[in-house]
């Protein structure tokens, strides 16, 4: 339980970085990896330890008319239809409900109201109140009900109106959702999807702007993915519903209105694969969710400065796609991790430990990790911005890393 409390907002905003036990990390079963028993030193630099004085003058570092970055193409087909991210989630959910009558949805206001972000809009009218079930404001109860439904053969999707509210269901997610397959000796599978909005919004306050990825990452038996585009939102939603494992799908509250053209034909993505966003040669930048767009904004400036960054959206937060990550590290020999999760015990700390233990000999420089500050997210817009990594900091970090 120590790792769970480690991610709680600290009293002081500048705490030392920490490493997690790499034995807790799940490795992708589809790839074979050579893992060394020896443990190397873990290099995690604080974002504030870098020379980031220019971060307050972002216009000095960012070039608004930068050239297009190499390989910056959409993952979607040229033909298809345009959807916002929340619409892509709904389309994937609706297709799975149409395909499999065992798929059902439950949560607060998911029925005729259509969900707080309209991901389930129109589904109650189409499939009825039993398959799209409005629940009381009782996260612990309806999450447990969803787990019980999964044990009896259904494939429930539990929506948390806000990921912060799912802390009220942490006992169900940890002691039941993650463990019942094991403690029942394989008699039960728990094919449940737990999803909802999270991340730092815009002046939503501390309780509604939490980054909870690291909280759930330390629970054995659970897979975690984070969507960042309409294309991968739909593909990951369909994959999560079809999985026999419990899956937590993280959606960012500020990405719901992101628009993209996605294919008309059906597709399902892997829950264990990262996405190569931009091939490059000089440095590997690992990121996910909203920070993908901060990284790509910084990448345009970096290209104009003569750098060639490789950007990978890790997508799978548990297990990590160490095959894709390792191939990139062996090519660039430098790693920058950019996340919105907390500094202490965050995704970046786990990822740093995994890279150090598996690919230490390929690194020509210490791993640099840019994370959010270890403080509750302030309500004031200016202070809120200061707690989250900005593109100017990414540019500065790459420049120092490549010196």
For residues 335 and 329, the answer to whether their CB atoms sit within 8 Å is yes
Per residue of the chain (403 residues), give pLDDT as tens: 566 556 665 433 333 333 333 333 333 333 333 333 333 333 333 333 333 333 333 333 333 333 333 444 444 446 899 999 999 999 999 999 999 999 999 999 999 999 989 999 999 999 999 999 999 999 999 999 999 999 999 999 999 988 888 999 999 999 999 999 999 999 999 999 999 998 888 888 878 888 889 889 989 999 999 999 999 999 999 999 999 999 999 999 999 999 999 999 999 999 999 999 999 999 999 999 999 999 999 999 999 999 999 999 999 999 999 999 999 999 999 999 999 998 888 999 999 999 999 999 999 999 999 998 888 888 888 888 888 999 999 999 999 999 8
Predicted model pTM: 0.81
What residues form DSSP beta bridges with 337? 286, 369
Would you state the pLDDT for residue 43? 32
**What b-and-e string marks burial along 362-375, b requiring 16 or more CB atoms within 10 Å of the CB?**
bbeebbbbbbbbbb
Q: Residues with catalytic annotation?
A: 139, 208
Distances (CA, A) of 51 to 48, 58, 89, 300: 7, 14, 40, 21
Would you state the pLDDT for residue 64? 32
Q: Residue 27, SS3?
A: coil
Asked if the domains 81-263 and 275-402 are classified in one and the same CATH topology, the answer is yes
The structure tokens 């389309």 sit at: 91
CA atoms within 13 A on the CB side of 259: 4
Would you state the pLDDT for residue 3? 60
Report DSSP letters for 252-309, one per residue: ETTSTT-EEEE-SS-----TT--EEEE--SSEEEEE-TTHHHHHHHHHHHHHHTT--E
Domain residue spans of the chain: 81-263, 275-402
CATH class of 81-263: alpha beta
| Ramachandran angles phi, psi of 309, nearest 5° | -80, 145
Would you state the pLDDT for residue 52? 35
**Which residue, 267, 226, 229, 266, is CA-closest to 247?**
226
For residues 323 and 292, the answer to whether their CB atoms sit within 8 Å is no
| Topology of the domain comprising 275-402 | Rossmann fold (3.40.50)
Would you state the pLDDT for residue 72? 44
Cis, peptide link before residue 319, omega less than 30° from 0: yes
Would you state the pLDDT for residue 58? 36
């Amino acid at each position: 339980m120590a790792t769970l409390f480690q991610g709680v907002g600290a009293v002081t905003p500048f705490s030392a970085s920490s490493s997690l036990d790499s034995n807790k990390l799940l490795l992708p079963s589809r790839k074979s990896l050579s893992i060394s028993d020896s443990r190397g030193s873990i290099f995690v630099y604080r974002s504030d330890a870098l020379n980031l004085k220019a971060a307050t003058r972002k216009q000095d570092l960012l070039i608004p008319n930068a050239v297009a970055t190499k390989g910056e193409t959409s993952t979607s087909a040229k033909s298809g239809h345009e959807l916002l991210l929340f619409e892509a989630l709904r389309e994937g959910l609706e297709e799975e409900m149409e395909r499999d009558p065992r798929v059902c949805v439950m949560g607060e206001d998911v029925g005729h109201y259509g969900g707080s972000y309209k991901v389930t809009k129109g589904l109650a009218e189409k499939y009825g109140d039993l398959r799209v079930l409005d629940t009381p404001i009782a996260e612990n109860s309806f999450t447990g009900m969803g787990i019980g439904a999964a044990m009896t053969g259904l494939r429930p999707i539990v929506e948390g109106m806000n990921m912060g509210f799912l802390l009220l269901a942490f006992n169900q997610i940890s002691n039941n959702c993650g463990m019942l397959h094991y403690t029942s000796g394989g008699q039960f599978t728990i094919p449940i999807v737990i999803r909802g909005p999270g991340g730092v919004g815009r002046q939503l306050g501390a309780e509604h702007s939490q980054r909870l990825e690291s909280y759930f990452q330390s629970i054995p038996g659970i897979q975690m993915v984070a969507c960042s585009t309409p294309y991968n939102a739909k593909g990951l939603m369909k994959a999560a519903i079809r999985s026999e494992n419990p899956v937590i799908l993280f959606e960012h509250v500020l990405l719901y209105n992101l628009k993209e053209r996605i294919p008309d034909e059906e597709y399902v993505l892997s829950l264990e694969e990262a996405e190569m966003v931009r091939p490059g040669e000089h440095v590997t930048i690992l990121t996910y969710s909203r920070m993908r767009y901060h990284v790509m904004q910084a990448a345009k400036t970096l290209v104009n400065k003569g750098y060639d960054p490789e950007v990978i959206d890790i997508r799978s937060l548990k297990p990590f796609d160490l095959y894709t990550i390792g191939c990139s590290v062996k090519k660039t020999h430098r790693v920058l991790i950019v996340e919105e999760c907390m500094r202490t015990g965050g995704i970046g700390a786990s990822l740093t430990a995994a890279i150090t233990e598996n690919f230490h000999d390929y690194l020509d420089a210490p791993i640099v990790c840019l994370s959010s500050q270890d403080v509750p997210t302030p309500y004031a817009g200016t202070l809120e911005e200061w707690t989250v990594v900005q593109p100017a900091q990414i540019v500065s970090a790459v420049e120092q890393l490549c010196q």
